[in-house]
Amino acid sequence: AEDGYDLWLRYLPLPAAQAQPALAQLGTVSIPRQNEVQRAARDELMRGLSGLLGQAPREATAADAALLVVGTPASSPLVAQLRLPLKGLGAEGYLIRRVEHEGHLLTVVAAPGDVGTLYGVFHLLRLLQTGQDVASVDVREQPRLKLRMLDHWDNLDRSVERGYAGESIWDWHKLPGWLDPRYTDYARANASLGLNGTVLNNVNASAQSLTPAYLEKAAALAGVMRPWGIRVYLSARFSAPIEIGGLKTADPLDPQVRRWWADKADEIYRLIPDFGGFVVKANSEGQPGPQDYGRSHADGANMLADALQPHGGVVMWRAFVYSHEQPDDRAKQAYSEFVPLDGKFRDNVLLQVKNGAIDFQPREPFHPLFGAMPKTPLMMEFQITKEYLGFATHLVYLGALYEETLQSDTYRPTKGHTVAQVIEGQGHALSGMAGVANIGSDRNWSGSIFDQANWYAFGRLAWNPQQSARAIAEDWVRMTFSQDPAFVQPVVRMMMDSREAVVDYMTPLGLHHLMGRGHHYGPAPWDAGSERPDWDPVYYHRADHLGIGFERGSAGSNAVAQYAPALAKQFDDLSRVPERDLLWFHHVPWDHRMASGRTLWDEMVWHYARGVDEVASMRGTWAGLSAYVDAPRYQQVASFLAIQQQEAQWWRDASIAYWQSINGLPLPAGQAAPP
Ligand code: GCW
């Protein structure tokens, strides 16, 4: 437990004052175990209650002796008898409440389907873990999104693209014969958040993952995931018909190619009857795709959709496309390519769109595609792994980033329509959210303890994108560390402030993509001259002796015009564009006057300094909390914060020195020169 392996599912004994009434209320349970989903729920409930209450609950032999009753109308005669309002909860929803039955009070976790009871069990355990009073519990929940996915950028050799937590947890070599128990713990953790899908392999996909040998391995993993309500998906390489099918082409309109994919789908479903479908990265960063044959993204997606459709599978087609042969503005390309295709995709296709138009930066305005394709279900793609945010050593709580995007107003079709509402479906049958996983085979799963919070927050928001990042952080802190308010409050505050800190010390005021080329770690705003100009930081900041920033207003690339008219106007207007996005949208003179009264240059320096100060204060906060945390976890966090502080200074000093080499401006009065 002290190595972080148990994540937020520690189930340590509750304080007696909480455990005793809980034991009196929940100490005898009735829960079915006729099938594997029911057994998963039952085992988790027993494990959780045993830990939290300090003793194993009794299992009622006759259901009417039970205090806690879990089940569906089909699995539990008592639940059926109670006539609960389960209508409308769907296959994954549940309710938890106290009901009177034959003169005594029962606690009931009931759902229309078995997976709902599993989620209900995790919810009940969470209430206990976070110190809530369950005496008058009354919960009614169902997910607001259908597909709640982790995308693993895991390669078949167990390397993980943009992974900072060790090698892949999928031990392909030993599959299908050996099922590492860790797979079950992975599934439990995901199910505890309501995640219901996992894409096993990298979107930069190897066609090998679709060969019979690898499909058998995937089928074995699907068998581990199934009891936990999780379906397995694969990234499909568009040129697989050539590479493993012996065809001369992968043209999506070629009948042989179409036949090949249909046969491949049949083969997959014979092995994995509940296979979820494909994720596809096509015609992006050198990956093959339909455009290689003069066909559109819709032609490509629809061909795969047709192959999966008879089996109920879906295609998640990624909108992350850009090419350096387009001289214009990389931020505009996805919108330009996809908006004309709105309405042209099959019903079982979702378009998977990154939160911003460039690439998982510390801050980006929301992607203009959200709201711009009303006839197509758009899924959110967030990155959980911190490719551009300091890998696993910088403490950055991404709940704040996710919430900021989800709560952004798209003004489409009208003011007040947020990104969260767009992805909730707009009346489409499908909806979803995908997170690029930060999981590896490190004992603590995510490379650091606080990176577990990002997995956690992503999962909770995928269930309900309207939730508050702060409330989620608080649950995580209580479940992961301690319920003591003297610990919870400062740590939640530190997490909530950590995101603005990283923006401040890396890329304040709308700057972006200034990280070292290739690895994306550390400052390199000076990088230039690579084979792809759109991978060079200088392409993004465009600093010269007069000013800095990428002009995306009407005087420049006019990317602002991809937003709803009201928003486009606001972003285009130097006096109304939010300052936090200033240099994203505009090239601005160094002496531009900011709201604070400072010049842009002085304001930039102020932000760099504030970012470093914030990390220093996070370090100070943590230093005062050692009494609440076991030594191994305390120490690792403390050491990582020290690294982060050093590197925040590195970012500040390197950035300021570089900007000075261009603008020749002195540091504002009172600001110490970098060493
Ligand atoms: O963020 C960038 C990464 C690539 C990644 C790509 C993508 C999987 O640097 O490593 O490739 O995005 O999202 O496809």
- Reported as a single tens digit per residue, the pLDDT across 474-520 is 999 999 999 999 999 999 999 999 999 999 999 999 999 999 999 99
CB neighbourhood size of 551 (10 A): 19
> Using CA positions, which residue lies closest to atom 3 of ligand 1?
162
- Tokens read off for 266: 């049949």
13 cis-preceded (ω within 30 degrees of 0) = no
Interval between CA 610 and ligand 1 midpoint (Å): 30
pLDDT above 80: residue 23: yes
Q: How remote is the CA of residue 347 from the centroid of ligand 1, in Å?
A: 27
Instruction: pLDDT band for 413, please (50, 70, 90 cuts).
Output: very high
Distance in Å, CA 178 to ligand 1 centroid: 31
Rounded CA-CA distance 25/18 in Å is 11
Question: What's the CATH fold of domain 147-480?
Answer: TIM Barrel (3.20.20)
For residue 442, what pLDDT is reported? 98
Whether the bond into 668 is cis, omega within 30 of 0:
no
Rounded to an integer, the average pLDDT of 609-628 is 98
| CB-based contact 174:217 (threshold 8 Å) | no
Task: State which amino acid sits at residue 388.
Answer: Y
Architecture of domain 504-550+587-663: Alpha-Beta Complex (3.90)
Model confidence pLDDT, tens digit, residues 241-256 = 999 999 999 999 999 9
When pLDDT is cut at 50, 70 and 90, the band that residue 64 belongs to is low
Residue 153 CA, closest ligand 1 atom number:
8
* Residue 281 in contact with ligand 1 by CB distance below 6 A: yes
Judge whether residue 602 has pLDDT over 80.
yes
Considering Cα of 199, then 203, then 204, then 206, what sign does the dihedral take? Answer: positive
Identify the CA nearest to 3 among candidates 446, 437, 412, 415. Answer: 446
Q: Is the CB of 652 under 6 A from ligand 1?
A: no
The pLDDT assigned to 481 comes to: 97
Q: What digits encode the pLDDT tens for the residues 45-61?
A: 999 999 999 999 999 97
Q: DSSP for 218-259, please give it.
A: HHHHHHHHGGGT-EEEEE--TTHHHHTT--S---TT-HHHHH
Is any ligand 1 atom within 6 A of the Cβ of residue 402? Answer: no
Give the whole-angstrom CA distance, residue 405 versus residue 48. 34
Mean pLDDT, range 530-557, rounded to an integer: 94
| Spans of all domains in the chain | 16-141, 147-480, 504-550+587-663
Predicted confidence at residue 65, as pLDDT, reads 84
Q: Cα of 200 to ligand 1 centre, how many Å?
A: 16
Residue 625's nearest CA partner among 524, 468, 507, 484 is 484
DSSP 407: T
pLDDT band at 671 (very low <50, low <70, confident <90, very high): confident
* Reported ipTM: 0.99
| Residues 86/79, Cβ–Cβ less than 8 Å | no
At residue 63 the predicted structure's pLDDT band, cuts being 50, 70 and 90, is low
- Shortest-distance atom of ligand 1 to CA 381: 13
Q: Report the catalytic residues.
A: 285, 359, 387
Strand partners, 235: 279
Instruction: Judge whether 590 and 605 are in contact, CB under 8 Å.
Output: no
User: Would you say the CB of residue 162 lies under 6 angstroms from ligand 1?
Assistant: yes
* Cβ 517 under 6 angstroms from ligand 1: no
Burial of 5 (C-beta count, 10 Å sphere; 0-12/13-18/19+) = middle
State in Å: Cα 123 to ligand 1 middle.
Answer: 34
- At 206-262, the pLDDT tens digits run 999 999 999 999 999 999 999 999 999 999 999 999 999 999 999 999 999 999 999
Four-CA torsion 460, 193, 618, 623, nearest 10 degrees: 150
Hey, what are 8's tokens?
A: 């937020």
339 and 369 Cβ atoms separated by less than 8 Å: yes
pLDDT for position 194: 98
pTM, two decimals, is 0.98
What are the residues facing 544 on neighbouring strands?
none
Name the CATH code of domain 16-141 (choices 3.40.50.1010, 3.60.15.10, 3.30.379.10, 3.40.50.2300): 3.30.379.10
Q: Give backbone dihedrals phi and psi of 501, rounded to 5 degrees, phi first.
A: -60, -45
pLDDT of residue 322: 85
If you average pLDDT over residues 154-183, what whole number do you get? 98
- What gap in Å lies between CA 362 and CA 618, rounded to an integer? 18
Entry field: residues in the chain: 675
Which of these, 401, 402, 406, lies nearest to 497 by C-alpha position? 401
Q: Which atom of ligand 1 is nearest to the CA of 360?
A: 1
* Cα–Cα distance for residue pair 98/305, rounded to 1 Å: 45
Calpha distance 303→544 (Å, rounded): 48
Q: Which of 356, 359, 281, 397 is nearest to 517 (CA)?
A: 359
Confidence of residue 346 (pLDDT cuts 50, 70, 90): very high
Look at residue 326 in the predicted model and tell me its pLDDT. 65
Q: What is the pLDDT of residue 1?
A: 64
Nearest protein CA to atom 12 of ligand 1, as residue: 359
Q: Which residue, 603, 563, 558, 599, is CA-closest to 580?
A: 603
pLDDT tens-digit profile of 11-22? 999 999 999 999
360 CB less than 6 Å from ligand 1? yes
Q: Give the separation between CA 350 and CA 379, rounded to whole angstroms.
A: 6
What is the mean predicted confidence (pLDDT) over 322-327?
Answer: 72
pLDDT for residue 572 is more than 70 = yes
| Residue range 296-320, pLDDT digits in tens | 999 999 999 999 999 999 999 999 9
Give ∠ CA 43-629-50 in degrees, rounded to 5: 20
> Other C-beta atoms within 10 Å of 304: how many?
28
Distance 237 CA to ligand 1 centre (A): 15
Residue 178 buriedness (CB in 10 A; 0-12 / 13-18 / 19+): exposed
Q: Where does the pLDDT of residue 535 fall: very low under 50, low under 70, confident under 90, or very high at 90 and above?
A: confident
Percent of the chain at pLDDT above 70? 98
Cα–Cα nearest to 496, from 509, 477, 515: 477
DSSP strand E in 67-201: where?
68-71, 94-101, 104-110, 138-141, 147-151, 197-199
Using CA atoms, how far residue 24 sits from 17, 21, 53, 97, 486, in Å, is 12, 5, 10, 16, 29
Taking Cα atoms as reference points, which of 131, 125, 91 lies closest to residue 111?
A: 91
Q: For residues 329 and 84, what is the distance between their CA atoms, to the nearest angstrom? A: 56
Q: Are strands 68-71 and 104-110 parallel, antiparallel or unpaired?
A: parallel
pLDDT band at 288 (very low <50, low <70, confident <90, very high): very high
Question: Average pLDDT of the chain?
Answer: 96
Note the pLDDT of residue 674.
Answer: 55
320 lines ligand 1 (CB under 6 A): yes
**How far is 379 from 445, CA to CA, in rounded Å?**
26
Question: Would you call 485 exposed, middle or buried from its count of C-beta atoms within 10 A (0-12, 13-18, 19+)?
Answer: exposed
SS3 59: strand
Tell me, what's the pLDDT at 2?
86
